[in-house]
Each structure stands twice: as C-alpha cells, then as structure tokens.
Amino acid sequence: MGLCGFHASCSLLSLVLIIVFLLCGEHVHSIGRLQTDGCNLFEGSWIYDATYPLYDSSQCPFFEKQFDCVRNSRPDKQYLKYKWKPTACELPRFNGQDFLERLKGKTIMFVGDSLSLNQWQSLTCMLHTAVPHSDYTIYRTGAISTVTFPEYAVKLMLFRNAFLVDIVTEKIGQVLKLDSIESGEIWLRADMLIFNTWHWWLHTGRKQPWQFLQEGNKVYKDMDRLVAYEKALITWSKWVDSNIDPTKTRVLFQGVSPDHNSSADWDDPEAQNCYAQEVPLKGSTYPAGPHPAETVVKKVLSTMSKPVSLLDVTTLSQLRVDGHPSAYGIGGHAIMDCSHWCLAGVPDTWNQLLYTTLLKI
C-alpha cells in the first residue's frame, strides 16, 4: 500500500505538511531557540567559515575610521573569516530583519565606553545590511548617538559613560564618585539596556579623566583599580535593583572585553602584542586564564534581585588575538590598538549572541 493509500491518511499528511511549512516560514527563529536549549553559547572555539564576514564594511555608513581595518589598509584578511562555534550546538545565524521585527517600536540603549561604541556600530551595520533599502537616520546630541530605522520604529542608542558611576567637577578637581549615579533617568528611556564598563578603569596619567575617587565622605587619591571597579558595579547593581521594572525593561551586561597588549598572556615568545597576529588561538581556553574583571562582574551579578543577562564574551574574545586594529586603527604604528576590535569582526559575534538571547525569550 502506498503512503497515501487511504484518502483520509493522505489528506491528514498533507495538512500536517502545510502546517509545518507555515510554522517554519513564519517562525524560523523557533528553530534557533530549540537548537540552543541547554547549550553554553559562550564555550566553544573559532572555526574558519568562507561565508564570513557577515557584511562588507565599505557599505556601512556608521563606522568610525578607527575600527575599519580594511579601509586602514590591513594587509591580511583571514581574520574576517572566523565564526564562533559553541561546543554543544550551532549559533543561529544573525537575521537582522527578524531582529528589527521582534523589537518593533522599541529603544535599545548601549551604555558604556568605546567598546560599547564598537558593539553599537557593529549592530547598526548588521541591521543596515539586512534591510539595505530601509531608511535610517543618525544623529548625535552630547553623549548620546542614535540610529533609527523608521520603518520598524526601532532606535539604537549609544550613551557614552565609561564608568557608569559619576565623575563630578569639584574644587579639588575631577572626582570619580564610586557610589553615585545621576544619569540613570536617561537610561530609563530604553526598553533594552546593554551595559559595559572596564576599559577606562586601568588608565593612568593623562588618559585618566579623574584626579580623586570618593566613596561616602572618604576621598582617595587612588586605590586598587579592581576594588574600585567592584564598588562601582555594586552601585550600578543597586541602581538596577531599585529602578528597573523587568516587565518593561530588559537588562544585559556586555561582559568584559579583553585586550592583547602582552603576548605573554597567550604564551607567544615571538610576539610582543596583537600586532601581526593573523589567526585566533586554537581550543576553547585562554592560557592566562579567566579575566579578573570578569570574575568581579559575575560576583556582582550573582547578588542582584532583578534579572540581568550576561553576554559572557570574555573568553571567546580572549581567543581572538588577531581581531584588533593593532597598527591599522587611527594611530598607526605610533598608537598600537590591541583593545578595540576591527569591524567586521569580533563584536559581530557579540551581536549574534545578543540576537540568540532574544530567540530564547
């Protein structure tokens, strides 16, 4: 007897196939969600993929010159061809149109330093590439930059705030107040907040934008930077717990973006820093081990009463010794950049992981 030997069976099979087709066509994202259930997305390795990068940087109107390594004449191109592969699953490929449709009418705000700028510019380009004929607007007012996709009523905002806590001008000079957040009213404008801070906590000398630190009534000329960082994160966590309504606002923490200023961290005696690194490190662990700031972030997040999703990008980014502008940023060989990331590049994977967290909602 054939598969449709009975008319009733054939009709039933046809109906099932039609339903499956409609479900797959309208809800492709559900496949991605099912494939990543129970999988640690942040544990894995980098593998070569000839279909990468996800976009052509020359077609992106949003980029800062410092991140556009191809435009800055970086000679090697293999660093563009790697994708992140979690050990136990496949990372869903980024679907920019689906991203915009899911967040229609919403405002996403990145709050942090130039690594937030790195991720924000990556995301704006990934979305523009997905809907190249959709209009967009871009403008900056003070510390806030905004890209809007009017067709979807989606706003992508960047609020530059390197420490999350306040820097205040007082008689003694610029004071970093470890227990004060005055800019939180602006953050409450967003439906999704993605926070980041670390990069500026280690700056000294002319790059340090404060002269003193203060906690309560105590003023310090300096203190252990990791201790100061934890105090600031605790202040931020209390702000989130006191001010965020999880039914209205989703909160994520970007994780700690590592630098590669010392090749001793990845046991390469022939290198000095990230310059001339052309391929990722093999495997899934970093020779120098966990980043100390990453440990602090996880410690603070574990104490919070409100839900915060961690984009735990530290280890996967540590493996990308090849991903920085190095001499192909804005400073050339005079200012070696082993902190920020080329675009296209590693922050695109951060945004793939951001997209995957949306699939899990």
Choice among 114, 134, 183, 262 that is catalytic: 114
Q: What is the per-residue pLDDT for 333?
A: 74
What total of structural domains would you count in the chain? 1
In a domain, residue 91? The reply is: yes
| 178: confidence class by pLDDT, cuts 50, 70, 90 | very high
In a domain, residue 19? The reply is: no
Q: Where residue 341 sits, what CATH number does that domain have?
A: 3.40.50.1110
**∠352-118-291 over CA atoms, to 5°?**
80
Q: What is the per-residue pLDDT for 17?
A: 34
User: Can you read off the two tokens belonging to residue 78?
Assistant: 């293999």
Convert the pLDDT of each residue in 217-249 to its tens digit.
Answer: 999 999 999 999 999 999 999 999 999 999 999
Q: What is the per-residue pLDDT for 31?
A: 29
114 is catalytic: yes
Q: What is the per-residue pLDDT for 66?
A: 92
User: Can you read off the two tokens belonging to residue 71?
Assistant: 């435009």
Q: What is the per-residue pLDDT for 32?
A: 33
The arithmetic mean of pLDDT across residues 95-104, rounded, is 97
| 62: confidence class by pLDDT, cuts 50, 70, 90 | confident
In a domain, residue 30? The reply is: no
In a domain, residue 23? The reply is: no
Tokens 């923490």 appear where?
A: 253
73 is catalytic: no
| 24: confidence class by pLDDT, cuts 50, 70, 90 | very low
In a domain, residue 134? The reply is: yes
Return d(Cα 354, Cα 252) in angstroms, integer.
Answer: 9
Q: What is the per-residue pLDDT for 1?
A: 41
Per-residue pLDDT for 325 more than 90? yes
Closest by CA position to 49, among listed 95, 99, 91, 96 = 91
Bridge partners of residue 156, in order along the sequence: 108, 147
348 is catalytic: no
Query: Percent of the chain beyond pLDDT 70?
Result: 90
Task: Print burial letters for 141-173: b (CB count within 10 Å at least 16), e (below 16).
Answer: eeebbbbbbeebebbbbbbbbbbbbbeeeeeee
Question: Whole domain around residue 348: which residue ranges?
Answer: 40-359
In a domain, residue 4? The reply is: no
Return d(Cα 32, Cα 180) in angstroms, integer.
Answer: 40
Return d(Cα 94, Cα 244) in angstroms, integer.
Answer: 28
In a domain, residue 190? The reply is: yes
Contact 111, 193 (CB under 8 A): yes
Q: How many Cα atoms are found within 13 Å in the side-chain-facing hemisphere of 85? A: 11
Contact 351, 313 (CB under 8 A): no
Contact 85, 42 (CB under 8 A): no
The conformation of residue 250, written as its DSSP 8-state character, comes to E
pTM of the entire predicted model? 0.89
- 134 Cβ contact list (under 8 Å, min separation 6): 128, 149, 151, 152
| 288: confidence class by pLDDT, cuts 50, 70, 90 | very high
Choice among 257, 263, 340, 348 that is catalytic: 340
In a domain, residue 10? The reply is: no
Q: Report the SS3 class of residue 198.
A: coil
Query: Percent of the chain beyond pLDDT 90?
Result: 85
Per-residue pLDDT for 265 more than 60? yes
- 5 Cβ contact list (under 8 Å, min separation 6): none
Choice among 265, 322, 337, 348 that is catalytic: 337
The average confidence (pLDDT) of the chain is 90
DSSP-assigned letters across all residues of 127-183: HHHHSTTS--EEEEETTEEEEEETTTTEEEEEEE-SSSSEEEEETTEEEEETT---T
